[in-house]
Structure 1
Amino acid sequence: MPKEQSLQRAMEYIEKNLTNDISYFDIAREAGISVPHFYRLFKRLTGDTVGAYILRRRISMAANDLADSDKSIVNIAFEYGFESHDVFTRAFSRVYGMSPSKYRKSSTSAPLKRLTVISDQPVMDEHQMKFGLLHTEGFAVAGLECRAVQWDGDGAIGKLWSEFLARLEKIELTPDAVTMYGMCEHEGCKDGVFTYMAAIGINSFTEIPPGMTKKFITPQNFFQASVPDRISTPDAYAGAIGYARSLGYVIKDNDMIEVYDGTFKNPDVNRFRLLIPVM
């Protein structure tokens, strides 16, 4: 399915569920792509996060109700998922520059329009992974962990990304905190069950929120694969590991890392870089 069509389906899902709880996992599933890939594509398209877009759409629909209905402001706030009148008023005022009650009296501001996906990029297509060797210096990450099965047969990894990205909305990140990582941790992997971490790169001295884990990746060598959109994640792992071994590399018992870097080529084509630790 073309990316524009996938994202438009996601937008339609958002519009139909503005009065319901919406998770990244549900939206990405509707789009037919992974949670971190959807997050990157959406931000590239809009310049904003999914959470901020949903908040503005809810406020916009609330503005419609303020102008066109007799519903109380409290009922409108609760209908669109705001926990209190005060929370709704603060959010509404940030967007429209006035309180809901003042907006209802004036009704001079137009509600915010929904987003329509229009591609202004040429259609790109790559079918093969590209490989190379990479040496990384040590770096720190912070994120959330879960126990997962190969290859996310129970959806735990997708739900973890959904929870992690939702929490990122509330964290004050530095401008250079743009690279996200998915890590298949080698420790304790048994019978296809392993620990997976959804994370973002941080300064090693950064304070992390309660419940998150900080981890340091030591300097090491990786066999790197750029993973195009048409290759599934399980096939990417199997292909990269198999090809590295065929070239004589020994796979180390270290974490395998998915790198979701917004500066890495074109996210419409390359979903992520896959780093396989080698000797």
Structure 2
Amino acid sequence: MSLENTTIHQIKKVICFVEKHLNDDLDVATLSQIAGYSHFHFCRLFKLYTGESIGVFIRRLKLEKAAFAMVDKNKSITDIAIAAGYDTPSGFYKAFNEFFGYAPSEHKRQKHIALKKIKGATMLEPKIVTREAINTIRCRRIGAYNTSTKEAWGTLCTLLQEYAIKNNLPNMLSDDKQEAIGIGYDDPTITAPEKIRYEACLSFEKTYENLPEGLSQNLIEGGRFASLLHKGSYNNMYDSWMKLYSWVTEQGLELRENNLFEKYLNDPTYTSEALLETELFLPIR
């Protein structure tokens, strides 16, 4: 069964709300109201669109977020369990083990072994920077990063070109000050490839009305960030992200809840892999 664009738009609104309020108590009644459907129809439509029930979807995101939080050596499993909404560590252990197939303590141990190996690699040193908030138009795709990134950027550029022509606007892709930014929501060592979320984003000084279906307009919040310049292939960027996380915890810095992101400094269409440069930004307090 295919869903109408209006229905898809409403389900995406709920997904966005869940992602922004993942640390809160989320009840289906509230989410149904946001979607504008009855409890029954919302649950049915959500599963049709995502392949997961709303309950499974929320539980998965909470557990995956908890699994990633274990890279922070300063956080205990009990602290992570409470942040994930579990009243007792035993309840968290059971849910984590059922979902991932191994205990959280084993996951934490393996993450720290991997981090030690990455720390020994030769990379540029991270730094702390401050950025202003920026307005972006973005396109989301779901799937393994090596395919979803290409699909998201291809769709974003095509739809913006069509939008500019339709509305008699100048080329929306030719501004030298424009920032090309990617937001990867999931750790590929934790989240199944078919569930990974990625957004291709372009910055714009002004906002636009009536964007085509498939595009959204959102702010990337400013503030303090730990930053690291990654040089080379995008395929090796995961190690740079892990080094940046490790550095942040070693410095005793506290992460903010805002999304991490990467800024692409050159175009892979015209640049060899060895010369690619990407700035990584991790929000900190």
TM-score range, shorter chain: 0.3 to 0.5
TM-score (norm 1): 0.45
Q: TM-score, normalised by structure 2?
A: 0.44
Between structure 1 and structure 2, the one with the greater Rg is 1
More helix by share: 2
**Higher RCO by CA contacts (8 Å cutoff, separation 6 or greater):** 1
